[in-house]
Amino acid sequence: MNVLDKVLTLRPTSVVARLGNRSRLPVLNPRELLVALEGVPAVLPCVPVPVRPMLPGLLAAARVEDAVLGLMCPHPLADRGAAERFMAAVQEVAEADGHARPVFLQAGPVRVPNAEPEALEQLQEGIFRLVDAGFSLVSLDVTRLEPDAAAEAVRRLAGPVLERELSLEVSLPAGAEGGELEGARALLEGLRGLSVRFLRVSAAILGDEEQEVQFLRSLVEVAGQYGAGVSVGEAGRRSARVLPTYVAAGVKKVECAAPFERLALAAYPEPVRTSLEQKAEKAGLGAGELLGVVGAQLAALEAPDAARLEALTFAEASEVLAALGASRTGWKSMLFLAEKWGD
């Protein structure tokens, strides 16, 4: 067996069930990639796919940079077919291009509005669908809940994810400003015994660069005591220049959505952008984020516009991957995992 053949045997069973036995796309659990890249000054990059024409550019950048890449479906429960459409698009584009570098697929962050039994029961059904859809990482957004309620909700919802031995990410819970570390500790203590892979913090709550690094290092230390790594969400809204900061702080995963949402939005005619901005304001979302929800309902981009968007996406993704230290992590991680398989 060659390196790719060995790596393919490490794919989660739910991924293989979705992609089919003939697929040679290495969709892996982030857990495996973290082990493979232990000690490497890099984080796992994760980017959204607001519209399908961006996929070829994202995957091409990962191949050229020889990088591990995470692809994120931010609103996988927006409608009953959202998760399946996302997975089908990734598989079709990746296999058409012969993509053979490690990929992980993230569902969410899935918003948990409250810890009421009825709300959690509805979300439980959705989480089952995400697992069956083939995602290798499920992210739960409990930022609206206090630590105790957040822990209770996660325990109710995480069963399907952990039973399939997939990765689970949980956001920082609600709490007073300045009490984030205490909130993180209380949440993780309430989840003791569950395998939480990532504790997610939004870049929006971070301060200037010096404060940012200090806080993140402290959070990394707290999370590490419970076997979790820290992930940063909503990174790069101000500038991609801050991304290396996260590598230096010991962060394990970074979601960089804003630059790609801006590119996607700019690809559409002005009337479409204006309409999206108005609807987004009413929905309390960014226009680029809303585009990721309703993009499949819009008229397809003209061929020249789609080609330009692909090229711009490639350039942006290449910059992001390099800034996060992800260049040359693809083959390195595959070699490590192939040797691990041999052991």
pLDDT for 272-312, tens place per residue?
Answer: 999 999 998 888 888 888 888 888 888 899 999 999 999 99
- Identify the pLDDT of residue 238: 67
**Helix or strand (DSSP H, E) at 171:** strand 167-171
- Identify the pLDDT of residue 154: 97
Dump pLDDT digits (tens) for 156-206.
Answer: 999 999 999 999 999 999 876 788 999 999 999 999 999 999 999 999 888
- Identify the pLDDT of residue 296: 80
**Cis amide leading into 45 (omega within 30):** no
CA distance 22 to 196: 31
Along the chain (343 residues), what's the average pLDDT of each consecutive run of 10 residues?
93 96 96 96 96 97 98 90 94 96 96 92 94 97 95 96 96 84 96 96 80 89 97 83 91 95 94 91 84 85 96 97 97 94 58
CA distance 140 to 156: 12
Task: Characterise 44 by phi-psi region: left (phi > 0), alpha (psi -120 to 50), beta (else).
Answer: beta
Distance of CA 115 to the CA centre of its chain: 24
- Identify the pLDDT of residue 51: 93
pLDDT more than 70, % of the chain = 97
Q: At residue 74, what are phi and psi to the nearest 5 degrees?
A: -65, -30
Domains of the chain from N-terminus onward: 3-257+302-333 (3.20.20.70)
- Identify the pLDDT of residue 287: 85
